[in-house]
Structure 1
Amino acid sequence: MMEQAELCFPQLLNTSCKKLTRPHSEAILMYTVFSSISLLTVSLNLLVIISISHFRQLHTPTNLLLLSLAVADFLIGLLVMPVEILLTEPCWLLGDLVCVLVYFVPCIILLASVVNMVLISVDRYVAICDPLRYPTKITQKRVQVFVLLCWIYAVFYSFLLYYDNLKQPGRYNSCYGECVVNINGAVDMVLFFILPITAIIILYMRVFVVAVSQARAMRSHIAAVTLQRSVTVTKKSELKAARTLGVLVAVFLMCYCPFYCVTLSGYDLMMSSSSSFFVLFLTNFNSCLNPVIYTFFYSWFRKSVKLIVTLEILQPNSCEANVL
């Protein structure tokens, strides 16, 4: 009886996985933390989505990229985090196809989030390093096309990565009650992490160098004519946006790097282990931190949230409200 009690499927004595139990207090803590962060992530990113979508003043190319990132973060809170709570369970009871899908769908969302970060870095690079041609290079329609391509690429890449698993779900399980998928780790590391992170770092290093030189130039021409003052104001706003998005990218790197550093080290992360829980929590927590960064650095977000919370957006012509 004791052996049966330790099996995921006691009726399948020879083919069932063993049920590894964890302390009740640890399980409660994991569920509480993940559920709270999931709810907070969904709520905060929903505010970002409503703000940028509703108010016309916020319909800019940069904010469109932030909107796409917020959609990805919203889906991480709504779909990925609850699924990872299930993956921390000692036994998988939802079948082989669902097992593959709970890896496949989050891969799409997380990759879209990573590619959005790259697009944001490109946007700031052009805005700071080539400001005169920025309005013609980075247009609303072009950004819409790139955002669409970003999500298409995420779906296509994830499909190729999990093709074998989708074709024959459960082929890598060694027993019933296990949820195991197999992917090409080297390819995933290069395309999902190394290339995007390298691009982000190189672009922002260039942005930082140019931003510092522009800041010095602005200080040396403090007594400019009115036209030059307007240009200076524009440059200041672009520099502030670059600084804010730089913080966004830095937080993104701090949250994502531990997972891939552990992967590079060759350490095997079991989904039900505490170490896996912490690394996954840190990765997903990035989606909750992004709206918090907007709150501290963007006055338009604070103003729009106030209008949303007080239900003033339900008033006629509220989309024309001044939130800048």
Structure 2
Amino acid sequence: MEAPEEAELCFPRINSSCRRTLLPHSELIFSVLSCITLLTVALNLLVIISISHFRQLHTTTNLLLLSLAVADFCVGVLQMPALLLHNQGCWYLGDLMCGAHYFIGFIVISVSVGSMVLISVDRYIAICEPMFYTSKVTLRRVKLSVCLCWMFSTVHSSWILRDFLKEPGRFNSCYGNCVVVVNFAEGLVDLVVTLLGPILIIAVLYLRVFAVAVSQARAMRGHIAAVEPQRSGTVTVKKAEMKAARTLGIVVVVFLICFCPYYFPTLAGEDTSVDASSAAVEIWLAHFNSCLNPVIYAFFYPWFRKCIKLILTLKILKPGSRDIQLL
């Protein structure tokens, strides 16, 4: 009678061990999450190889994409596999790795969000102030911005988790657990820095971009109307409006869908308690954003599709492949 009870424990020989949490359809869930993990790693690795290898892609904008891809790649390589290891409710890596798991997770997610904001600023200057783009957005300034983004994310994560990092197992209720509790005050700061602030900045910048795109499209329509039928101008305006609206919608909506569930406790005025050993849905949603980012920011670019073909066919191994024209 005791054998089945012992089999349910994470560590059968330890009386204080946590019990396994057997979820319905656990095998199917594990397969789906494994595919998401592999897809996250593969897509972001393709972006990293593409931008790093081809000289024509060594631009200021692509450097920001590279920073985003590196952060999201770390999520796929370091964070998602750790969640898969304890898919049944057991953390086998010890308290030290538990602290490192959350610390790295906070850093890479903050960097990912920060890179999204920097990309929004870059696009705003490129579209709204094109005459000053080359003087304002230099390679040196972009590198400095990327470094500051990583440094700020590290400091921010250290402050949010300062008590937890001193004693990673302080919130564990049993042996084989990995829990972090972020109190309301710290959670509120994290909410503003990682969600509300970036969303506000991105929304304002892209709304401005949208307005400028519509204004330029209307000016073009007036020019075309003088030499071509009115229908051509109307089509041009509609295309410009749809392109700007689609970009804005994808960025904001996907970001909100992925991150809002994690911040629901803070929005409700409660402390945020995250149990890594349960592989909570909100954690996976936040991590899933790292899988969607390369699709949103890179996969829609024609040069990225060309790079995929060159990488998968191993043509990048040929001499002179770094100078292939992609644009």
Common fold: TM-score over 0.5: yes
Alpha-carbon shift at residue 282 of structure 1 (Å): 2.6
Corresponding residue of 1:132: 131
Corresponding residue of 1:208: 210
Is this contact kept in 2: 1:124–1:242, CA < 8 A? no
Task: Summarize the Cα distance change of 1:240–1:314 in structure 2 as closer, same or farther, 3 Å threshold.
Answer: farther
Is this contact kept in 1: 2:178–2:276, CA < 8 A? no
Corresponding residue of 1:233: none
Q: Which moved more, 1:177-186 or 1:312-321?
A: 177-186
Corresponding residue of 2:21: 21
Q: Is residue 292 of structure 1 aligned with residue 295 of structure 2?
A: yes
Q: What root-mean-square deviation, in Å, do the aligned CA atoms of Structure 1 and Structure 2 show?
A: 2.8
**In structure 2, what residue type is equivalent to 1:83?**
A
Q: Is residue 319 of structure 1 aligned with residue 318 of structure 2?
A: no
Distance 1:247 1:314 in 2: 38
Distance 2:265 2:215 in 1: 37
**In structure 1, what residue type is equivalent to 2:203?**
I
**In structure 2, what residue type is equivalent to 1:188?**
D
Alpha-carbon shift at residue 196 of structure 1 (Å): 1.5
Alpha-carbon shift at residue 323 of structure 1 (Å): 0.5
Q: Which moved more, 1:81-90 or 1:58-67?
A: 81-90
Three-state SS of the structure 2 residue aligned to 1:221 is: helix
Alpha-carbon shift at residue 165 of structure 1 (Å): 1.6
Counterpart of 1:283 (choices 271, 282, 286) is: 286
Task: Summarize the Cα distance change of 1:48–1:242 in structure 2 as closer, same or farther, 3 Å threshold.
Answer: farther
Corresponding residue of 1:162: 161
Corresponding residue of 2:84: 85
Q: Is residue 264 of structure 1 aligned with residue 267 of structure 2?
A: yes
Corresponding residue of 1:35: 34
Distance 1:96 1:210 in 2: 52
Is this contact kept in 1: 2:18–2:175, CA < 8 A? no
Alpha-carbon shift at residue 7 of structure 1 (Å): 4.2
Deviations 1:122-167 (A, max 9, x none): 1111112211111110111111110111111111111122122222
Distance 1:19 1:5 in 2: 9
**In structure 1, what residue type is equivalent to 2:132?**
R
Alpha-carbon shift at residue 87 of structure 1 (Å): 4.6
Distance 1:145 1:283 in 2: 27
Three-state SS of the structure 2 residue aligned to 1:92 is: coil
**In structure 1, what residue type is equivalent to 2:325?**
N
Corresponding residue of 2:234: none
Alpha-carbon shift at residue 81 of structure 1 (Å): 0.9
Task: Summarize the Cα distance change of 1:241–1:70 in structure 2 as closer, same or farther, 3 Å threshold.
Answer: farther
Kindly report which structure 2 residues correspond to 1:136-285, keeping only aligned pairs within 5 A, or say none.
136-183=135-182, 184-222=186-224, 246=248, 249-250=251-252, 251-261=254-264, 263-265=266-268, 266=270, 271=276, 276-277=280-281, 279-285=282-288
Counterpart of 2:305 (choices 287, 302, 307) is: 302
Distance 2:204 2:294 in 1: 25
**In structure 1, what residue type is equivalent to 2:36?**
I
Q: Which moved more, 1:288-297 or 1:261-270?
A: 261-270
Task: Summarize the Cα distance change of 1:241–1:74 in structure 2 as closer, same or farther, 3 Å threshold.
Answer: farther
**In structure 2, what residue type is equivalent to 1:304?**
C
Alpha-carbon shift at residue 115 of structure 1 (Å): 0.3
Three-state SS of the structure 2 residue aligned to 1:182 is: strand
**Is there any run of 5+ residues in structure 1 with no aligned partner, and where?**
225-237
Distance 2:49 2:96 in 1: 34
Deviations 1:271-294 (A, max 9, x none): 5558x33x3333222222233345
**In structure 2, what residue type is equivalent to 1:121?**
S
Alpha-carbon shift at residue 80 of structure 1 (Å): 1.2
Is this contact kept in 1: 2:87–2:277, CA < 8 A? yes
Q: Which moved more, 1:263-272 or 1:31-40?
A: 263-272
Is this contact kept in 1: 2:179–2:276, CA < 8 A? no
Is this contact kept in 2: 1:61–1:143, CA < 8 A? yes
**In structure 1, what residue type is equivalent to 2:153?**
A
Give the TM-score, by structure 2 length: 0.83
Three-state SS of the structure 1 residue aligned to 2:147 is: helix
Distance 1:21 1:256 in 2: 25
Corresponding residue of 1:61: 60
Is this contact kept in 2: 1:118–1:200, CA < 8 A? yes
Give the TM-score, by structure 1 length: 0.84
| Identity in percent | 55
Q: Which moved more, 1:77-86 or 1:247-256?
A: 247-256
Is this contact kept in 2: 1:42–1:77, CA < 8 A? yes
